[in-house]
């Protein structure tokens, strides 16, 4: 497991817990929950940039490159989609959608790590 995975693990789990807590407390999405999902996106951007630098430096992806980049693109689309959802539907249920982002990004990062190595 590389450092990028651990960053997404921590940020994703914190975001998930914050969003789940807000949903359980019947709160609408707020700055804390939205910014936690923005933090997940920022961690994914760091992973993307780091991956591009590694490929340019000559490091090779052990698995299928298209699969790795497909996971990366999908993972990066999830936070903006969830934020958009939560802006359109300002109910407590949107926090559960936001909570799914952190866990999903974590699982996808684990799979990307397997493909890389």
Query: Phi, psi (5° rounding) for residue 59?
Result: -75, 140
pLDDT at residue 2, as a whole number:
84
pLDDT at residue 78, as a whole number:
96
How sure is the predictor about 23, in pLDDT bands with cuts at 50, 70 and 90? very high
Per-residue model confidence as pLDDT tens digits over 73-103? 999 999 999 999 999 999 989 999 999 999 9
Ordered by start, the domain boundaries in the chain are 3-116
Cβ atoms of 40 and 81 closer than 8 Å: no
Instruction: Evaluate the CA torsion angle 62, 113, 59, 46 in order and state its sign.
Output: positive
Q: What is the pTM of this model?
A: 0.91
Q: Give CA–CA dist 19/42, Å, rounded.
A: 17
pLDDT beyond 80 at 44: yes
Q: Give CA–CA dist 67/75, Å, rounded.
A: 12
How sure is the predictor about 8, in pLDDT bands with cuts at 50, 70 and 90? very high
Mean pLDDT confidence for 61-68: 93
Average pLDDT, the chain: 95
Q: Give CA–CA dist 56/51, Å, rounded.
A: 9
């Amino acid at each position: 497991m590389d450092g990028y995975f651990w960053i997404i693990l921590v940020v994703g789990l914190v975001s998930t817990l914050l969003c789940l807590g807000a949903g359980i407390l019947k709160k609408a999405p707020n700055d804390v929950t939205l910014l936690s999902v923005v933090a997940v996106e920022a961690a994914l951007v760091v992973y993307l940039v780091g991956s591009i630098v590694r490929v340019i430096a000559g490091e090779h992806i052990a698995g299928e490159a298209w699969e790795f980049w497909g996971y990366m693109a999908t993972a990066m689309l999830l936070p903006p989609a969830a934020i958009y959802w939560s802006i359109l539907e300002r109910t407590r249920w949107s926090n559960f959608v936001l909570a799914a982002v952190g866990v999903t990004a974590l699982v996808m990062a684990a799979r990307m790590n397997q493909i890389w190595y």
